[in-house]
């Protein structure tokens, strides 16, 4: 009952004026922590996996842990595949119960990206799976996918034409953000979200959220962003909690893995709850019909 469709969660968010947190998990511990945090804050949530995580855990295992955890959750939860240029992994996710996939064609020239996005949408929609589309590259490398420079950039009209002719459900344009940690202050393109919103009803996704301020997030949401991806912050919370726990274990001589899992889970949950507050999705679960 609580396993939701990404497209429905994002549509509800756009209507109500908040953004759904879409959080990249790295294992079962972080998957459960993300859902637990969403339950505490009564927020809808999208659990995301990078291609790297799919390869590390296996699609069947992720799917079964997701299904069993989400089925018992008190909030609507969807499963999304983040940046995936590899068509075979897209197919794997579609066949294993993902609610949506980000087909990342930003490494392809325009016509090829256009044609392949149409193919992916047809394949995904046949199984009731939604498609987020990226044909411009959002700068920064995330889990081995992407590039540090902008290779392809298009006009808003071109982006909308590709999205509407292919049947894309969610749009991931370049908005001045970058994946990973910022080396310099980004030039954020809030206006671009509003302009896209005037051209199409397709919801816009914000990538590269780590390092943005509350005011930045609010301005993006006010302009129409309805899904915000979080990856780097979760990795930092996870690894710093592990490092701190190991330092404590070293000092006390008590080596108990389960206690470390508890610390990691608490840190991940705190991070997700903080973002839920920033994205305005706290308490929004009740307004979503899953």
Residue whose CB is less far from Zn ion, 207 or 227:
207
In DSSP notation, 267-286 reads HHHHHHHHHHHHHT-TTGGG
Does 207 participate in binding Zn ion (rule CB under 5 A)? yes
Please, what is the minimum distance in Å from the beta carbon of residue 279 to Zn ion?
Answer: 16
DSSP state of 287: G
What phi and psi values does residue 28 have, to the nearest 5 degrees?
A: -70, -35
Please, what is the minimum distance in Å from the beta carbon of residue 64 to Zn ion?
Answer: 25
Q: Which residues contact 225 (CB under 8 A, 6 or more apart)?
A: 19, 193, 203, 204, 205, 206
Residue whose CB is less far from Zn ion, 207 or 245:
207
Residue whose CB is less far from Zn ion, 39 or 82:
82
Is 82 a residue of the active site?
Answer: yes
Residue whose CB is less far from Zn ion, 139 or 260:
139
Catalytic residue among 8, 27, 28, 82: 82
CB-side neighbour CA atoms (13 Å) of 246 = 6
Nearest Cα residue to 114 out of 66, 74, 73, 168: 168
Stretch that binds Zn ion, among 64-72, 156-164, 199-207, 250-258 (CB under 5 A): 199-207
* H/E run at residue 118: helix 110-125
- C-alpha distances in angstroms, 23 versus 35, 145, 211, 231? 10, 17, 15, 6
Stretch that binds Zn ion, among 40-48, 58-66, 92-100, 200-208 (CB under 5 A): 200-208
Residue keyed to tokens 């290779």: 151
Stretch that binds Zn ion, among 3-11, 50-58, 104-112, 205-213 (CB under 5 A): 205-213
Stretch that binds Zn ion, among 45-53, 66-74, 91-99, 204-212 (CB under 5 A): 204-212
Please, what is the minimum distance in Å from the beta carbon of residue 147 to Zn ion?
Answer: 12
* H/E run at residue 46: strand 45-49
Please, what is the minimum distance in Å from the beta carbon of residue 138 to Zn ion?
Answer: 6
Please, what is the minimum distance in Å from the beta carbon of residue 232 to Zn ion?
Answer: 10
The residue at minimum Cβ distance from Zn ion is 207
Residue whose CB is less far from Zn ion, 98 or 261:
98
Please, what is the minimum distance in Å from the beta carbon of residue 235 to Zn ion?
Answer: 13
What does the block give as tokens for 136? 């411009």
Q: Is the dihedral of CA 94, 96, 100, 106 positive or negative?
A: negative
Residue whose CB is less far from Zn ion, 207 or 235:
207
Cα–Cα distance measured from residue 42 to residue 285, given in angstroms and rounded to the nearest whole number: 5
Total residues at interface with Zn ion (CB under 5 A): 1
* Residues marked as catalytic: 82
List of residues contacting Zn ion (CB under 5 A): 207
């Amino acid at each position: 009952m609580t396993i939701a469709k990404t497209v429905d969660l994002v549509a509800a968010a756009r209507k109500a004026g908040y953004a759904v947190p879409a959080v990249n998990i790295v294992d079962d511990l972080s998957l459960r922590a993300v859902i637990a945090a969403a339950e505490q804050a009564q927020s809808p949530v999208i659990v995301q996996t990078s291609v790297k995580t799919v390869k590390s855990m296996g699609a069947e295992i992720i799917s079964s842990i997701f299904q069993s955890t989400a089925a018992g959750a008190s909030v609507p939860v969807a499963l999304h595949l983040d940046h995936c240029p590899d068509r075979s992994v897209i197919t794997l996710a579609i066949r294993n119960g993902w609610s949506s996939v980000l087909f990342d064609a930003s490494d392809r020239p325009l016509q090829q990206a256009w044609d392949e996005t149409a193919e992916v949408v047809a394949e995904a929609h046949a199984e009731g799976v939604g498609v987020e589309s990226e044909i411009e590259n959002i700068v920064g490398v995330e889990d081995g996918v992407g590039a540090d420079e902008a290779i392809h950039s298009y006009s808003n009209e071109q982006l909308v034409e590709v999205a509407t002719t292919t049947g894309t459900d969610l749009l991931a344009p370049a908005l001045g953000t970058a994946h990973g940690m910022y080396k310099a202050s980004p030039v954020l393109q809030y206006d671009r979200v509003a302009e896209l919103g005037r051209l199409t009803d397709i919801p816009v996704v914000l990538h590269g959220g780590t390092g943005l301020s509350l005011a930045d997030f609010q301005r993006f949401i006010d302009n129409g962003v309805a899904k915000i991806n979080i990856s780097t912050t979760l990795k930092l919370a996870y690894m710093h909690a592990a490092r701190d726990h190991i330092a404590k274990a070293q000092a006390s001589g008590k080596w108990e893995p389960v206690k470390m899992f508890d610390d990691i889970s608490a840190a991940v949950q705190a991070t997700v709850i903080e973002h839920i507050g920033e994205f305005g999705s706290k308490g929004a679960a009740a307004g979503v019909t899953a």
